Homo-oligomer: A and B are copies of this chain.
């Protein structure tokens, strides 16, 4: 390895070490920290991220990247070194385009806005949050200018979360399946009484829930020698290397789904990180390539595997043994239908597979309209409710179950939402590609065998880390681009059976 490349890797590894150290402090804050520790912890995290940012934007790093680009000109695109350099260049340019003062001001504004939003939501008072959202929007526009774009400022925003994605591409994808989803939900709405979710709404001892859910994700292939599971208020997955991946869960003693499907979901994120190649661990090339691809993994294990009938034909007897009083007399068929209930809910995080993407489309459209000035902040509640009604046939009774429900805008994360929907679409595209090579996957699920799927994911997605963007990965796997029709087919097939459409 050349001296330049050695120095570059050493520098990047130190930046990654600092970011991973910050991730440990954040995990501890959410899962372990006593309440008194908040203020000093915020300061420690701020110091770590400031030093990491300094190192990630230093002239020294810029010079090393320049030199490495000259050395590696013409190198194999798929090689680890060429890919590391692409990622390093992208991260460096993105980090250096934003002035330090701007980043500090935006961080301060979003910290304040988060508090204000939380209060506004609790009090169902949008006007309290509106002036903060206006300032966030104004700074977000400046952020887009700093980052740069060709067609639409929104391109610069979504690019932070889904590299290479554009507003036009998202619009094409969303427009191509919105009518089918509205139609499907309409059909289900006419026969919604056919399926009951009562089986999952009973008293379930949380320690038994935990035992069962941990067993499931261990069977999926999550490696507990390189990870652990804990309780937190908001479930998440974080990692400090491929060797240390942390999942968190929230338990409800009167509702089975949040912990069980939540842990399957987080284990999908976690297996992605665990599957990153050992050779790139500790470098910025390691880990998930985009939020959309990450979500494709969590949704695949949660929904395509975890809500499938073959899976439950294997797992349900054990769940019945775990909760004989609650489920002893509920048939497999009824239980499977219960976990696949479709409901026109107001809250995105509680949405089912059929309605989820509509919740996202609504947000994407409003974000585009805000950024291009078509919708004013003060008009958001009315716009929200009107579109919600037209997509889902119901109107939110208040703003806290409407426009105020999500944390993202208060955190300055405009451009983030589409990745959830893209993840749903990709989960089916990728799964279908695996199924093409391994047509027996469903039969395997029915006997508790998941390693064919997991190994396929490691080989085709996980091990690459950030080597390929989501579009490149999708082209390699499917030969095409992100396409919503497999997802629509998947939903139609499933709900035809669940609801007898």
Contacts and interface: CB of A to CB of B under 8 A. Distances in A.
Interface of A: 13-14, 17-18, 20-22, 24-25, 28, 32-41, 43-44, 47-48, 51, 223-228, 240-241, 243-244, 281-282
Given A21-B47, A24-B28, A47-B14, A37 B244 contact: yes
Contact of A44 (B17, B32, B228): B17
20 contacts: A13-B47, A17-B48, A18-B47, A18-B48, A21-B21, A21-B44, A24-B25, A28-B28, A33-B244, A34-B228, A34-B243, A36-B226, A36-B244, A37-B240, A37-B243, A37-B244, A40-B241, A40-B244, A40-B281, A43-B282
A20 B13 CA distance: 21
Contacts of A281: 40
Contacts of A21: 21-22, 25, 44, 47-48
A43 B17 contact: yes
A424 to B, nearest CB: 30
A438 to B, nearest CB: 28
Contacts of A44: 17, 20-21, 24, 240
A227 B225 CA distance: 28
A47 B24 CA distance: 14
Contact of A40 (B20, B25, B36, B225): B20
A70 to B, nearest CB: 28
Given A21-B21, A21-B47, A28-B24, A243 B36 contact: yes
A282 B40 contact: yes
A107 B51 CA distance: 24
A282 B39 CA distance: 10
Contact of A36 (B22, B43, B223): B223
Most buried by B among A22, A227, A241: A241
Among A34, A39, A44, A225, residue most surrounded by chain B Cβ atoms (within 10 Å): A44
A21 B51 CA distance: 13
Nearest to A39: B243
Contacts of A34: 224-228, 243-244
Contacts of A13: 43, 47
Sort A-B residue pairs by CB-CB distance and give the 5 closest, nearest first.
A37-B244, A40-B241, A36-B226, A17-B47, A36-B243
A223 B37 CA distance: 12
Contacts of A43: 13, 17, 282
Given A17-B47, A17-B48, A36 B240 contact: no
Nearest to A245: B34
A32 B41 CA distance: 18
A25 B22 CA distance: 9
Given A21-B22, A21-B25, A40-B282, 17 more contacts: A13-B47, A14-B51, A17-B43, A17-B44, A17-B48, A21-B44, A24-B24, A24-B25, A24-B28, A33-B244, A34-B226, A34-B244, A35-B225, A36-B225, A36-B243, A36-B244, A37-B244
A321 B47 CA distance: 49
B35 A32 contact: no
A225 B225 CA distance: 31
A40 B228 contact: no
Nearest to A17: B47
Contact of A226 (B37, B225, B228): B37
Contacts of A40: 20, 240-241, 243-244, 281-282
A243 B43 CA distance: 13
Contacts of A24: 24-25, 28, 44
A409 B333 CA distance: 66
A227 B32 CA distance: 10
Contacts of A51: 14, 18, 51
Contacts of A20: 40, 44
B32 A228 contact: yes
A28 B20 CA distance: 13
A395 to B, nearest CB: 43
Nearest to A47: B17
A285 to B, nearest CB: 15
Contacts of A35: 225
A262 to B, nearest CB: 20
Contacts of A18: 47-48, 51
Nearest to A228: B34
A337 to B, nearest CB: 37
Most chain B CB within a 10 A radius of its CB, from A38, A39, A40, A226: A40
